[in-house]
A and B are shown apart, each in its own frame.
Chain A
Amino acid sequence: MSAEPTATIFEPKVIAFVCNWCTYLGADLAGTSRLEYPSNLRIIRLPCTGRIDFNLIVKAFENGADSVLVSGCHPGDCHYTSGNFHARRRWILFRELLNTLGIDTERVHFSWISAAEGAKFQKFITEIVEKTRNMGPYSAMKEIVALSD
């Protein structure tokens, strides 16, 4: 019988909502290029950043995310011409709402990562996972969820 570990090491859970055409392929490129990045990331693929409802970000936190990433095509590169422009405007306002509510905007990340930017994907993911690890679990949100049961 192996002994139970006395202290559990905190492994952050990062949920990434990514667009099918750019960031998802960027992640793919990171994979095929054998670029290693932390396994704390859970990728959810959506057609376009324009499709990424703010509710999904809320849902991710409800389901225990320690931070959330939303990522898509660079402005001007959208597969659907303007989805990311719509998304950008929405996020600008949504971040302000999160801030007013006291939800930690340091835990909500946004980026533009193209299909050719496997290296940027690896670098950015490593960075946000490390940042989340340093911030620790999002206990304030987990407390809200715990009070809801």
Chain B
Amino acid sequence: MTMSQQTQLQQKAKELLTDKKTDLVIGYGIIETGHVGTIFITKPEQSDRLLWNEECVDNLVVYLKRKEVKKLGRPAVVVKGCDARAIAVLETEHQLDRENLVVIGMECNGIRARNLLQEKCKTCDVQQPPHCDFVIENPEKPVTQSDPANRYARLEKIMAMNTVQRLDYWKNEFSRCIKCYACRQNCPMCYCDVCVVDKNRPIRIDTSATLKGNFAWNILRAFHLAGRCIGCSACSAACPAGIDLDLLNLSLAKAAEEHFNYRAGTERNSEPLIGTFSPEDQESFIR
């Protein structure tokens, strides 16, 4: 008989904890508020709290960088295909002790937040999670019709505007930003101990939520992810103002693919895009 993915996951977690292969399992579960959230499991008998369904929105890789999580010992983390790419990028940037990390990948059929299939899932090409130690297969194979070739199609709606309209669009979007930095906190790639916006000597970016400060912050956040963003959309999902931050990341991902044939997180042990160079890099705008 076939077991559901959730049961398989619980068994795997139990096994890992019992065999002391890992000290901690970071997974999805029901939290105090009654919602699907993140749970941290340290004992085998807790593993039946682990949950897997279409509402597992968060990218749990984000917790691997946290000091308080590191203290708990060798972790195992539950990931979707998109999240798994974050592991590859962090590994490339020497941010993970991959030897002492267990990655449990879930074959994924698309994530629905408030019953709506997420945009990223419509063009997903990682229903089979890459870079994992274990993959928990879906007994009913993925059925979502995704269209990876059109992964940048969402950009067309803004790129069809002229420059002035585009600036107006972003002005309208960024005017809602309250500088809560939820986008940063939920991003698996933002791991600096002290973020530049938190440095106050010199103040590079307005600390209050002024329009110019919001522009500067969002430009900075997007560009620090250039060639690194794996498109998990955790930033967009976290944004309380509903700004489609993913569009900025997408435009940089598109640029990276067009100019350098580079997609972050698709390969393990690739070199970071920014931080390396080639004398043959081509451009047409430098005079």
Interface string of A50-90 (1 = CB under 8 A from B): 00001100110010000000000001100000100110111
**A92 lies within 8 A of chain B by Cβ:** yes
Verify B159–A100 contact, CB threshold 8 A. Answer: yes
CB-CB nearest in chain B for A56? B204
Report A103-119 CB contacts with B as 1/0, cut-off 8 Å.
11100011110000000
Does B248 interact with chain A (Cβ within 8 Å)?
A: yes
Chain A residues within 8 Å of B219, by CB: 54-55, 58, 97, 101
Instruction: Mark interface residues in B198-230 (1 if CB within 8 Å of A CB, else 0).
Output: 000000111000111101100110110011000
The one of A62, A94, A97, A99 that contacts B212, using a Cβ cutoff of 8 Å? A62
B19 within 8 A of A: no
Which one of A86, A92, A100, A149 contacts B251 once the chains associate, using CB atoms below 8 Å? A100
A112 to B283 alpha-carbon distance, docked (Å)? 13
**With an 8 A cutoff between CB atoms, is B16 at the interface?**
no
Give min CB distance, A45 to chain B, whole Å: 18
In Å, the complex CA distance between A89 and B287 comes to 15
Assembled-state Cα–Cα distance A86/B287 (Å): 17
> How many Å from the CB of B246 to the closest CB on chain A?
12
Instruction: Evaluate whether A93 and B285 lie within 8 angstroms (CB atoms) in the complex, with A75-B279, A82-B277, A103-B167 already known.
Output: no
Q: Does B255 contact A (CB under 8 A)?
A: yes
Asked if residues B273 and A89 are in contact (CB atoms below 8 Å), the reply is: yes
Q: CA of A142 to CA of B163 in the docked complex: distance in angstroms?
A: 15
A interface residues, tally (CB under 8 Å):
38
- Interfacial chain A residues near B205, Cβ < 8 Å: 55
Could you give, for residues 165-191 of chain B, a 1 whenever the CB lies within 8 Å of some chain A CB and a 0 otherwise?
Answer: 111111100000000000000000000
Least CB separation from A124: chain B residue: B287
A1 within 8 A of B: no
* B259 within 8 Å of A (CB atoms): yes
In chain B, positions 239-287 with a C-beta closer than 8 Å to chain A are 247-248, 251-252, 254-256, 259-260, 273-279, 281, 283, 285-287
Asked if residues B212 and A148 are in contact (CB atoms below 8 Å), the reply is yes
Query: Given known contacts A58-B219, A85-B281, is B166 in contact with A101 (CB within 8 Å)?
Result: yes
The answer to the question of B155 belonging to the interface, with a C-beta cut-off of 8 Å to chain A, is yes
- Docked CA distance A90–B283 (Å): 11
Residue positions of B touching A, CB distance < 8 A: 155, 158-159, 161, 163-171, 196, 204-206, 210-213, 215-216, 219-220, 222-223, 226-227, 247-248, 251-252, 254-256, 259-260, 273-279, 281, 283, 285-287
